[in-house]
C-alpha cells in the first residue's frame, strides 16, 4: 500500500479505527469520510471529511485522487430492525453506496474497490434452526442467497452494482466484496462490547439463545483482511471474511466469567431461531494466504482493558438556531441543507420575536425569542438548553452586538455563536466608522460625512444598520438636507453611478478568508438583489481581501461596492452577516453554512477546500408558495 491514496468511507467506525492506522503504517495516504468527528488517534496526515457522505462531491474526491476505495460506511440495527429503519437504511446504505460508487467509477486514478459486505446475504434457512445445533454450517460464497433483513438487502444491492460495472470498467479498476461475519471490537455497540460495559457497571446480562453458534471476528482482523484484499488486485467478486470457527454464546459468557467472577446473568425468553453459522474461509485462505489471528480468549481482555481506560465522549449539540429568521426563507433552507450535510439528525430552529415568522415553516422547529438584550441572556440560554442548541446564527444587524459581546459566555455554556468580534461588528454597523477605518488604511472607501460636503449629488442614509433602509439617492444639496431630516442619524455620501457589486466571503475563527465570490447586483428592489450574477476579477478580489483582513471578522460577511464608469471601485459598506442574496455564492461553491457548522463543532477546515464551480451563477429571486398541510400547522 506504499504511496497508494486510499479513501475510506465510514473510517471513524469500529473497523475503520483499526484499518486507518494499518494503512498509514504501510505508507498509504489516507482520506476518511464519516458522520462522526475525527477520532483523536487520527494524525494530521489523515485527510478528514466529516459529514453525511451523501453530500460528498466529485470535486472533493478528485482533489484527493484515490487509487483505492474501501467502503465501510453503513448503518445497521441489532437483531430486529425497527419500523423507523426503513428510511435510514435507504439513505445510509442503499443510496450512499450508489452515490459513492457513482463518484468513484469514472475517476482516472481509481484502481481498486473493496466493499465491506455481510454474511446476512445468505439464505437464513441454511444456518437458522428450530433447535440448537451440535455444529455450525460453514457458509460458502456459492451458497444460496436471500437477505434476511434490510441491511442484508442493501449489501446485496451494492454487490450487484459492482458486478454490473465490471464489464464496463474492469480495465480501469477491480472490485471485491468481503462478506463479513459477526464483527466485534473497540468503540462498538456489538454484543461483546455491550456485555463488557454492563459487567463493569455491575449490571445483569440478559441472554437469549446461549446455544447459538456465531463466527465472531475481531475488528483488528477484519481491518487486516480488508487491507490484504485491497492489495490483492487479482481477487474479485465475493469472498467470505470470518475466522472460520464458530463459537457458542455460552463460550463468550464463560470467558467473561473468568474476568468478572461475580457476573450476573439471566436468560430471556425468545422465539428467534437458533443460529449456527461460520464462514467457509477456503477461498480467502487460498487467494490471500493469511487467516484472522484473534479468538475470543485473546480479544476480550483487550476490550476489557480498553473499556476500563475509556473516557466518555461528550456528544456535541447538533441543533442550530437561526435568530431573527423572520421571512428569510432561502437563508433558513440553506442552513437546513448544511445541517443535514453535517448530520442527518441535526435540527434547525427558526428563532424570532414574532410568533408568526414565516421561516418557521421551512425549519425543523420554531423558538419564540425574547429581545436580544443583556437582561434576557439567561432566558435565551435556557431556550438553547431546552432545545439542545449547539450553534447560533445571528442574521440581523441590530442583534450582532449582543451576540458578539456574549459569544464567550455562550461558548462556556456549549453554544457556538457565528459572529465577528465586537470591534469588527461596531465598525461594520457604523458607516462613518467603516469609512474612517478604510481611509486610514489607504483603501478606496466612499467618503462619508455627518454633514453634506459640496453641492452633490448625494446619497443619504442611516448611519447605523441596514444601508438600504430609508435611503435617498442622487439628491442635490437641498433635497439631501431635507431627506436627512426624516432620519435618526443620517450620513451623507457622494452619489457614484455605476455597477453595484456584492462580495460574499467566509472567514474562519482565526480571521482568515477561506473563500470569496463576487457578484453584480443586476436588479435591486428595496435594497435586495432580485437578480444577481457571479463573476471573477483577481485584482478586485485582492483589494477586497485586503479590506476584509484588516478587521477581526468571522463567518459570513458581505462587502458592498460600486464600480464607476472608469472602472474604479468604491467600497460602500460591509455587513458582518449573511446577505439577502448570498445563497447565490453557495451555489457557486462558497459552502458558507457547512463550514460554519463544522467550525462550530471544532473541526479543522484544512481538509475542506473552497471548490469554486467552473462556470458562473445567475440567481433570480421569485415569489414561491409554501403549502403546509394540517399535520404541521
What are the pLDDT digits (tens) for 461-474?
Answer: 999 976 566 899 99
Q: What is the pLDDT of residues 229-252, one digit of tens each?
A: 999 999 999 999 999 999 999 999
CA nearest neighbour of 120 among 35, 13, 214: 214
Whether residue 449 contacts residue 492, with contact meaning beta carbons closer than 8 Å, is answered with yes
Asked if the model's pLDDT at residue 330 lies above 60, the reply is yes
Domain 319-419 in the same topology as domain 5-309: yes
Q: Name the least confident of 146-160, 303-317, 483-497.
A: 303-317
Asked if the model's pLDDT at residue 316 lies above 80, the reply is no
Q: Report the distance separating Cα 575 and Cα 400, nearest Å.
A: 10
Q: What is the pLDDT of residues 535-592, one digit of tens each?
A: 999 999 999 999 999 999 999 999 999 999 999 999 999 999 999 999 999 999 999 9
CA nearest neighbour of 56 among 507, 594, 582: 594
In this prediction, residue 225 has a pLDDT band, given cuts at 50, 70 and 90, of very high
Which overall architecture, per CATH, does domain 319-419 show?
Answer: 3-Layer(aba) Sandwich (3.40)
- pLDDT at site 9: 98
Task: Write out the E strands in 310-395.
Answer: 319-322, 348-352, 365-368, 389-393
CA nearest neighbour of 339 among 55, 581, 576, 610: 55
Classified by CATH at the fold level, domain 5-309 comes out as Rossmann fold (3.40.50)
- pLDDT at site 525: 85
Segments in 310-354 forming alpha helices (H): 329-342
Q: How many CB atoms lie within 10 A of CB 286?
A: 9
- pLDDT at site 528: 80
Name the percent of the chain in helix, strand, coil, to the closest 5. 35, 25, 40
For residue 387, the SS3 value is coil
Each domain of the chain, given as residue ranges in start order, spans 5-309, 319-419, 421-444+496-633, 447-495
DSSP 8-state symbol, 437 = H
- What percentage of residues in the chain have a pLDDT greater than 90? 90
Which sign, positive or negative, has the C-alpha torsion 490, 496, 498, 504? negative
Residues 6+ apart with CB under 8 A from 25: none
- pLDDT at site 631: 63
- pLDDT at site 367: 97
How many residues are given for the chain? 633
- pLDDT at site 317: 85
Asked if the model's pLDDT at residue 632 lies above 80, the reply is no
Segments in 413-504 forming alpha helices (H): 422-429, 431-440, 477-484
The pLDDT of 324-336, averaged and rounded, is 96
Q: What is the pLDDT of residues 94-129, one digit of tens each?
A: 999 999 999 999 999 999 999 999 999 999 999 999
Classified by CATH at the fold level, domain 421-444+496-633 comes out as D-amino Acid Aminotransferase; Chain A, domain 1 (3.30.470)
Angle of helix 191-200 versus helix 249-259 axis, rounded to 10: 30
- pLDDT at site 468: 62
In this prediction, residue 354 has a pLDDT band, given cuts at 50, 70 and 90, of very high
- pLDDT at site 470: 83
In this prediction, residue 77 has a pLDDT band, given cuts at 50, 70 and 90, of confident
Segments in 148-238 forming alpha helices (H): 150-169, 191-200, 219-231
Amino acid at each position: 500500500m506504499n504511496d497508494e491514496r486510499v479513501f475510506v468511507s465510514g473510517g471513524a467506525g469500529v473497523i475503520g479505527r483499526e484499518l486507518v492506522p494499518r494503512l498509514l503504517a504501510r505508507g498509504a495516504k489516507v482520506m476518511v469520510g464519516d458522520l462522526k468527528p475525527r477520532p483523536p488517534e487520527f494524525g494530521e496526515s489523515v485527510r478528514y471529511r466529516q459529514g453525511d457522505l451523501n453530500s460528498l462531491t466529485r470535486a472533493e474526491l478528485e482533489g484527493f485522487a484515490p487509487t483505492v476505495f474501501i467502503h465501510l460506511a453503513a448503518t445497521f440495527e441489532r437483531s430486529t430492525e425497527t419500523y423507523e429503519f426503513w428510511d435510514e437504511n435507504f439513505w445510509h446504505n442503499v443510496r450512499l453506496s450508489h452515490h459513492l460508487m457513482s463518484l468513484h467509477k469514472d475517476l482516472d486514478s481509481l484502481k481498486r474497490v473493496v466493499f465491506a459486505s455481510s454474511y446476512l446475504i445468505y439464505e437464513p434457512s441454511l444456518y437458522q434452526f428450530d433447535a440448537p445445533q451440535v455444529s455450525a454450517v460453514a457458509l460458502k460464497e456459492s451458497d444460496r442467497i436471500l437477505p434476511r433483513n434490510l441491511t442484508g438487502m442493501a449489501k446485496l444491492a451494492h454487490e450487484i452494482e459492482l458486478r454490473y460495472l465490471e464489464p464496463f470498467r474492469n480495465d480501469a479498476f477491480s472490485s471485491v466484496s468481503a462478506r463479513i461475519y459477526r464483527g466485534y471490537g473497540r468503540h462498538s455497540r456489538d454484543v461483546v462490547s455491550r456485555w463488557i460495559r454492563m459487567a463493569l457497571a455491575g449490571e445483569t446480562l440478559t441472554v437469549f439463545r446461549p446455544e447459538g453458534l456465531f463466527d465472531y471476528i475481531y475488528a483488528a482482523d477484519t481491518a487486516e483482511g480488508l487491507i490484504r484484499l485491497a492489495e490483492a488486485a487479482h481477487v474479485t467478486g465475493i469472498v467470505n471474511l470470518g475466522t472460520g470457527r464458530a463459537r457458542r454464546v455460552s463460550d463468550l459468557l464463560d470467558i467473561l466469567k473468568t474476568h468478572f467472577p461475580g457476573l450476573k446473568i439471566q436468560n430471556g425468553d425468545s422465539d428467534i431461531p437458533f443460529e449456527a453459522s461460520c464462514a467457509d474461509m477456503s477461498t480467502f485462505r487460498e487467494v490471500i494466504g493469511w487467516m484472522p489471528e484473534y479468538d475470543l480468549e485473546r480479544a476480550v481482555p483487550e476490550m476489557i482493558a480498553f473499556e476500563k481506560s475509556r473516557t466518555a465522549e461528550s456528544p456535541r449539540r447538533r441543533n442550530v438556531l437561526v435568530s431573527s429568521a423572520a421571512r428569510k426563507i432561502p437563508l433558513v433552507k440553506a442552513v437546513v441543507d448544511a445541517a443535514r450535510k453535517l448530520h442527518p439528525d441535526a435540527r434547525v430552529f427558526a428563532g424570532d420575536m414574532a410568533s408568526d415568522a414565516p421561516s418557521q415553516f421551512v425549519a425543523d422547529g420554531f423558538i419564540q425569542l425574547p429581545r436580544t438584550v443583556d437582561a434576557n441572556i439567561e432566558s435565551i440560554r435556557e431556550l438553547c438548553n431546552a432545545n439542545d442548541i449547539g450553534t447560533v446564527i445571528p442574521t440581523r444587524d441590530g442583534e450582532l452586538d449582543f451576540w458578539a459581546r456574549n459569544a464567550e459566555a455562550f461558548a462556556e455554556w456549549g453554544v457556538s455563536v457565528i459572529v465577528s468580534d465586537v470591534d469588527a461588528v461596531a465598525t461594520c454597523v457604523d458607516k462613518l466608522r467603516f469609512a474612517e477605518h478604510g481611509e486610514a488604511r489607504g483603501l478606496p472607501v466612499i467618503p462619508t460625512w455627518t454633514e453634506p460636503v459640496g453641492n452633490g449629488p448625494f446619497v443619504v442614509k442611516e448611519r447605523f444598520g441596514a444601508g438600504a433602509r430609508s435611503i435617498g439617492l442622487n439628491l442635490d444639496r437641498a433635497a439631501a438636507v431635507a431627506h436627512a431630516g426624516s432620519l435618526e442619524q443620517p450620513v451623507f455620501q457622494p452619489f457614484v453611478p455605476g455597477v453595484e457589486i456584492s462580495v460574499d466571503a467566509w472567514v474562519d475563527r482565526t480571521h482568515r478568508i477561506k473563500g470569496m465570490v463576487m457578484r453584480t447586483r443586476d436588479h435591486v428592489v428595496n435594497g435586495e438583489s432580485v437578480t444577481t450574477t457571479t463573476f471573477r476579477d483577481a485584482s478586485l478580489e485582492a483589494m477586497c481581501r485586503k479590506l476584509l483582513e484588516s478587521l477581526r471578522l468571522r463567518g459570513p460577511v458581505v462587502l458592498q461596492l460600486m464600480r464607476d464608469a472608469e472602472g474604479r471601485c468604491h467600497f460602500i459598506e460591509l455587513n458582518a452577516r449573511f446577505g439577502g442574496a448570498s445563497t447565490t455564492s453557495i451555489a457557486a461553491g462558497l459552502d458558507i453554512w457547512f463550514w460554519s457548522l463544522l467550525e462550530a463543532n471544532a473541526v479543522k477546515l484544512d481538509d475542506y477546500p473552497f471548490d469554486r464551480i467552473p462556470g458562473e451563477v445567475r440567481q433570480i429571486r421569485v415569489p414561491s408558495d409554501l403549502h403546509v398541510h394540517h399535520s404541521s400547522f
